[in-house]
Amino acid sequence: MAHVEQQKVHPFEHPGEGKRRTKPTPKGRQIDPRASGEIEELLAGKSHRRDMLIEHLHLIQDKWGQISAAHLAALADEMKLSFPEVFEVATFYAHFDVVKEGEPDIPPLTIRVCDSLTCAMLGADTLMKELQNKAGPEVRVVRAPCVGRCDHAPVAEVGHNFIDEATPAKVLAAADEGDTHAHVPDYIEYDSYVAQGGYALLNSLRSGQTSKEDILKALDGASLRGLGGAGFPTGRKWRAVMGEPGPRLMAVNGDEGEPGTFKDRFYLETDPHRFLEGMLIGAHIVDAGEVYIYLRDEYPASREILAREIAKLPPGGPTLHLRRGAGAYICGEESSLLESIEGKRGLPRHKPPYPFQVGLFGLPTLINNVETLWWVRDIVQKGGDWWQSHGRNERHGLRSYSVSGRVKNPGVKLAPAGVTIKELIEEFCDGMADGHQFRAYLPGGASGGILPASMNDIPLDFGTLEKYGCFIGSAAVVVLSDKDDIKGAALNLMKFFEDESCGQCTPCRIGTQKAAALMESHVWNRDLLMELSQTMRDASICGLGQAASNPLTSVIRYFPDEFAPREAAE
């Protein structure tokens, strides 16, 4: 908004005092001159477009470690937006620390401790309590939802530096040494990728040697499906976008926030150009003039890698925009992601229309997950038959399983689609961790349900788990043992959904809250929980509310031993 001008004074009646005049001060929120100058300097030479709001909030957060009310008001003024419009966006995202008027400043260093399921199983609660007791007044210790490093649990974040297999000593040492920046691992850089045949397919497509139809036929022949969780056929999605009138855009979903999932981070931090080439091929196929890569804020190393390597790409092709999430799980839902790219709160859109029809900035938009695009080059060059030749138990293709929990060797496991949990643990993870007996598993992350060890022969793939009330999703597999509390695991997941609900619809906002409260009771009211679950499933706007109760219904259905003995005793 513009600077508030001096207001005219008007007399008003006051009981017992007759007429008096108001104080000669302007109405409305005042802009602090110092804050205004700092924001003006910070944004110098940068776009003031409405969709850059979240990017500019990150600049403030990074520079001052918080976002003061004065800076928030100055930002609104600089971008010609209303203060409430900026305030609602800043307070929606967990990674923006908004300090309201009269509140004390936030300590200069923040330590975040992941408390999602795998980290909780491996000691996050104890880690957090010890850090809170030992950290000094200049350090703030807070909980964090899944940070995408479940194979290194428990994990803490010092500034933007992630401490794997965290202990209080390791975390406090990093804090004392000022080691707060992301550590970028070794990866295949541009020159090495090109030397190995990289971008040959893209160049062939752009030159006309390879046709668009050649690419689409290869994807159709492989039956490649979206690997972000929804599993929509990739070739079919690309054709749908092509069928809409231009101009068209492309958005990449790099916001894998599902607890237990970390495969996209793995691929971005090892072979980023394979993803970039697949992305540029997709953009060329649908004639997208601009591509927006939306990457979760918990992946600072991936962001640094992409920024470096995008700068090395030769000129030509679409304009690439690297956008930074801000700690909102809901933005993994495609329409919420579009809202966030546009600089708004990540609230899911009602459908129809669908994003391929009316997407980013109201234009037809192709949306693909990072791993889906990562596979495009191999599938086209090696052929759909090559992809289909992999698989077990009458399934086809390859899957990247993010495996964490009570196994000896967690990590991203590239395995045949349709592998069972028994095969995955024994052949790809070197068995269960010492001293642990296999008891249960999550086949598809936090929302994919929980199954008992006795159901260890189900192929892990699209369409094989739904009849059991579960789904594969992004293939995030969390393994639980006889040392783990199954009801406690389900409660941990429900609390995650309660925190991450965007709040737009009542069934999800209130349903997750009420479910978590009911699940904290020693004796579950199973009938009420099942009724609540069905309401959330039927009436929630998006997949978060629709699938949030899958873990609790799985526990009720498949783990009767969690109820009968103790309840009978009471």
Q: Tell me: the pLDDT tens digits for 505-556?
A: 999 999 999 999 999 998 999 999 999 999 999 999 999 999 999 999 999 9
Same domain, 93 and 141: no
Number of domains in the chain: 5
For residues 255-266, average pLDDT: 96
For residue 153, the model assigns a pLDDT of 98
Residue carrying the six token digits 């109405």: 27
| DSSP assignment of 249-316 | EEEEEE---STT--HHHHHHTT-HHHHHHHHHHHHHHTTEEEEEEEE-TT-HHHHHHHHHHHTTSPS-
Average pLDDT score, the chain: 93
Asked if residue 499 and residue 473 are part of one domain, the reply reads no
Q: Is residue 463 in some structural domain? A: yes
pLDDT band at residue 20 under the 50/70/90 scheme: very low
Residue 16, pLDDT above cutoff 50: no
DSSP assignment of 541-554, as one string?
SSHHHHHTTHHHHH
In-domain check, residue 22 = no
- 197 and 307 housed in the same domain: yes
CATH of the domain at 53: 1.10.10
The H or E element that residue 320 is part of is strand 319-324
Statement: residue 92 has pLDDT above 70: yes
Q: Among 455, 481, 507, where does a domain finish? A: 481
**Per the domain annotation, does 269 fall within a domain?**
yes
Q: Is residue 155 part of a domain?
A: yes
Q: Are 442 and 537 found together in one domain?
A: no
- CA 223, CA 241: separation in Å to the nearest integer? 18
What is the model's pLDDT at position 21?
46
Residue 332, in any domain of the structure: yes
Same domain? 169 vs 202: no
Same domain membership, residue 220 and residue 360: yes
Whole domain around residue 88: which residue ranges? 33-99
Long-range Cβ pairs for the range 299-304 (8 Å, 24+): 299/148, 299/254, 299/265, 299/268, 300/160, 300/182, 301/182, 301/183, 301/184, 301/185, 301/269, 302/254, 302/265, 302/268, 302/269, 302/272, 304/182, 304/184
Residues 254 and 283: beta-carbon distance below 8 Å = no
HSE (side-chain half, CA atoms, 13 Å) at 459: 16
Question: Are residues 277 and 346 both part of a single domain?
Answer: yes
Q: What is the mean pLDDT of residues 167-195?
A: 97
In a domain, 339, yes or no: yes
What was the pLDDT predicted at 19? 44
Q: How confident is the model over 346-372, as pLDDT tens digits?
A: 999 999 999 999 999 999 999 999 999
Q: What is the pTM of this model?
A: 0.93
pLDDT for res 388: 93
Same domain membership, residue 123 and residue 90: no
Least-confidence region, from 139-148, 171-180, 285-294, 555-564: 555-564
Which of 117, 150, 177 finishes a domain? Answer: 177
230: confidence class by pLDDT, cuts 50, 70, 90: confident
327 lies in the same domain as 233: yes
Q: Point out the least confidently predicted range of 270-274, 382-386, 479-483.
A: 382-386
pLDDT of the residue at 212: 97
Are the C-beta atoms of 437 and 425 separated by less than 8 Å? no
With 50 as the cut, is the pLDDT of residue 78 above it? yes
Distance CA 509, CA 487 (A): 21
Q: In the listed set 143, 177, 211, which residue is the last one of a domain according to the structure?
A: 177
**Bond preceding residue 247 cis, omega within 30 of 0:** yes
Q: Give tens-digit pLDDT for 117-176.
A: 999 999 999 999 999 999 989 999 999 999 999 999 999 999 999 999 999 999 999 999
- Work out the pLDDT band at 397, boundaries 50, 70, 90: very high
Burial classification of residue 166, based on how many CB atoms lie within 10 Å of its CB (0-12 exposed, 13-18 middle, 19 or more buried): buried
347 lies in the same domain as 257: yes
Q: What's residue 229's pLDDT? A: 83
Q: Which residues pair with 158 in a beta bridge?
A: 111, 161
Enter the tokens of residue 108: 């200069």
Percent of the chain scored above 90 by pLDDT? 91
Domain match, 457 and 506 both: no
Is the pLDDT at 17 greater than 50? The verdict is no
Residue 27, pLDDT score? 52
28 is a domain residue: no
Q: Are 213 and 285 contained in the same domain?
A: yes
Per-residue pLDDT reduced to its tens digit, 306-341? 999 999 999 999 999 999 999 999 999 999 999 999
Residue 351 located in a structural domain = yes
- Residue 28: what pLDDT? 58
